[in-house]
Amino acid sequence: MPKNVVALLLMVFIAMTSCKDEPKKEVKEASTLKTEELKPVEVKEFGYTLKNYLVVRDTIKAGDSFGEILQRNNLEYPQIYNIVEGAKDSFDIASLQVGKPYTLLCTKEDSLQRPKCFIYQPNSIDYVVVDFADSTLVKKGKKKVKLVEREASGVINNSLYVTLQDQGLSPIVAYKMSDIYAWTVDFFRIQKGDRFKVIFTEKYIDDSIYAGIDKIKAAYFEHKGESFYSFRYETDSTKHIIDYFDENAKNLRRAFLKAPVQFSRISSRYNLNRRIAYYGNRVRPHKGTDFAAPIGTPILSTANGTVIESARRGGNGNYVKVKHNGTYTTQYLHMKKRKVHVGDYVKQGDVIGWVGMTGNTSGPHVCYRFWKNGRQVDPFKQDLPKAEPIGDSLKVKYLDYIKPIKHQLDAIVYPSEKTSNEEEFLTELNQQNAISDNQSN
Ligand SMILES: [Zn+2]
């Protein structure tokens, strides 16, 4: 996740404190799913039948070592030494982390109930078994992860985060959505009334323990009345290149246009050491890039964003400033005429004004300024996100793949449109939507 997205989400979090007048009815749906009970007669875990052992569960404490844990549980040193020696090639016993859970399977056959097996869980999915019932054996395993597909929708009243939270959904869905839409929708300027729909998968361990959000499969976002679809798609299965594309196979991560005017030439580049004869050959840094073009040539916004300034002022003349996201802002100077107002939402390539000679300029051009985190930089030296489109050969396959998913998205209703019967039906449908076993990322 890029840094700017993290920063942006922090803002979303900060904005979360107030306003919770959305009905709480969805919470029930989420918790029903999580508390599904599973009580088989013979419980197997980590590949062992638990009823054959005395099971000791604990977490690693500060100062604990593998040897001490075994010693505390009635093993003695020559044997501990042998276990450590036997395990050390396949398990780094120094890697035990404070707070992580471990399990000891102890024999019921002697009064000391000595352990036969040590199981360490570095995370909720992976585990390491050190079995010393006979000789020492180390096995690594993963808990069975079941993916459950879910749907959600909402109308934003405050922030995406709060809207999801009111439905009992993880903030990670908000994280992931703002990551997907980082180049399309400015989440700082999300509006009351913006709406979204999302299809995502959740992970459940051993069929019952919620283990977080897996991934967003598809989403729909309506911002200021504009529709933005996104579908997760793997464009290269050998390199595992996965990206989100819209309904026309366009990449959601849009790069900036190279220039704000077509058929132009660069007459002056970003140059911090520029010297100008007119000013006695003194250094007059040029923090913009000048594109010379005939008067009246349309000036295009180089990326999607919101107009934050549109004015005529001093040396800038007629200018427009567009904020694209938490990181990038662009500015266009010396316009003959401006076409947009403060607050307008513009898409990449939209005309925002026309080339002119207003302000300090010796000829018709647009001075293009590029701001990153509040500092003017050279757009040609930035490592801007690439927007690889789906290749022609894959496009047909992609459009075929998204067809049913788009139908599914379109069929999701907003909470306000749901009747209580529909809700129950959807809950059931969600629960039946367990799509695959034993899969994880
Ligand atoms: Zn300039």
CB 169 within 8 A of CB 152: yes
Average pLDDT over residues 24-33: 38
How high is the pLDDT of residue 31?
38
Q: How far is the CA of 12 from the centre of ligand 1 (A)?
A: 35
Band (pLDDT 50/70/90 cuts) for residue 436 is very low
pLDDT at 21 over 80: no
What rounded mean pLDDT belongs to the chain?
A: 82
User: Are β-strands 305-313 and 434-436 bridged in parallel, bridged antiparallel, or unpaired?
Assistant: unpaired
**What global pTM score does this model have?**
0.58
Q: What is the CA 331 to chain-centroid distance, rounded?
A: 28
Q: How far is the CA of 274 from the centre of ligand 1 (A)?
A: 11
What is the gyration radius of the CA atoms in the chain, in angstroms?
A: 29
Q: How far is the CA of 279 from the centre of ligand 1 (A)?
A: 15
How high is the pLDDT of residue 282?
74
How many Å apart are CA 21 and CA 35, to the nearest integer? Answer: 26
Average pLDDT over residues 269-284: 74
pLDDT at 431 over 70: no
**DSSP conformation class of 285:** -
Give tens-digit pLDDT for 157-201.
878 888 888 888 888 888 888 878 877 776 666 778 899 999 999
Higher-confidence position of 332 and 236: 332
pLDDT at 430 over 60: no
Q: How far is the CA of 104 from the centre of ligand 1 (A)?
A: 70
Segment of 159-168, 383-392, 393-402 carrying the highest mean pLDDT: 393-402
Helix axes 171-180 and 3-14, enclosed angle (nearest 10): 130
Q: How far is the CA of 328 from the centre of ligand 1 (A)?
A: 18
- Nearest CA among 201, 209, 218 for reference residue 147: 201
Show the tokens assigned to 320: 């427009």
How many Å apart are CA 310 and CA 104, to the nearest integer? Answer: 68
Q: How far is the CA of 189 from the centre of ligand 1 (A)?
A: 29
Q: How far is the CA of 240 from the centre of ligand 1 (A)?
A: 42
Average pLDDT over residues 273-300: 82
Q: How far is the CA of 360 from the centre of ligand 1 (A)?
A: 9
Classify burial at 61, counting beta carbons within 10 Å of its beta carbon; exposed 0-12, middle 13-18, buried 19 or more: exposed
How high is the pLDDT of residue 279?
62
How high is the pLDDT of residue 14?
38
Q: How far is the CA of 268 from the centre of ligand 1 (A)?
A: 7
pLDDT at 10 over 80: no
Residue 308 parent element (H or E): strand 305-313
Where do runs of H (alpha helix) occur along 19-93?
25-34, 66-72, 77-87
- Nearest CA among 436, 377, 423, 371 for reference residue 217: 436
pLDDT at 377 over 60: yes
% residues pLDDT > 90 (the chain)? 47
- For the chain, percent helix, then strand, then coil, each to nearest 5? 25, 35, 40
Cβ within 8 Å of residue 332, ≥6 positions away: 260, 299, 319, 320, 321, 322, 352, 353, 366, 367, 368, 369
**DSSP conformation class of 195:** E
Q: How far is the CA of 188 from the centre of ligand 1 (A)?
A: 29
Average pLDDT over residues 15-42: 41
Instruction: Count other Cβ atoms within 10 Å, centred on residue 439.
Output: 13
Q: How far is the CA of 333 from the centre of ligand 1 (A)?
A: 8
Q: How far is the CA of 8 from the centre of ligand 1 (A)?
A: 30
pLDDT at 8 over 70: no
How high is the pLDDT of residue 30?
38
Q: How far is the CA of 183 from the centre of ligand 1 (A)?
A: 26
Q: How far is the CA of 290 from the centre of ligand 1 (A)?
A: 5
Average pLDDT over residues 353-364: 93
Q: List Cβ<8 Å contacts ≥24 apart for 278-282.
A: none
CB 240 within 8 A of CB 234: yes
Least reliable range by pLDDT among 65-74, 102-111, 278-287: 278-287
Angle at 248 between CA 152 and CA 397, to 5 degrees: 90
User: Are β-strands 345-346 and 328-338 bridged in parallel, bridged antiparallel, or unpaired?
Assistant: unpaired
Q: How far is the CA of 367 from the centre of ligand 1 (A)?
A: 4
Q: How far is the CA of 198 from the centre of ligand 1 (A)?
A: 43
CB 158 within 8 A of CB 15: yes
Q: How far is the CA of 323 from the centre of ligand 1 (A)?
A: 19
Q: How far is the CA of 254 from the centre of ligand 1 (A)?
A: 25
Q: What are phi and psi of 57, to 5 degrees?
A: -115, 135
Q: What are phi and psi of 405, to 5 degrees?
A: -70, -35
How high is the pLDDT of residue 195?
92
pLDDT at 111 over 90: no
Q: How far is the CA of 288 from the centre of ligand 1 (A)?
A: 5
What is the sign of the dihedral through the CA atoms of 72, 78, 79 and 84?
Answer: positive
Least reliable range by pLDDT among 285-289, 317-321, 341-345: 285-289
Q: How far is the CA of 303 from the centre of ligand 1 (A)?
A: 19
Band (pLDDT 50/70/90 cuts) for residue 426 is low
Coil, helix or strand for 151? strand
Q: How far is the CA of 278 from the centre of ligand 1 (A)?
A: 15
How high is the pLDDT of residue 141?
93
How high is the pLDDT of residue 151?
94
Give tens-digit pLDDT for 314-336.
999 999 999 988 889 999 999 99
Residues with CB under 5 A from ligand 1 (ion): 288, 290, 367
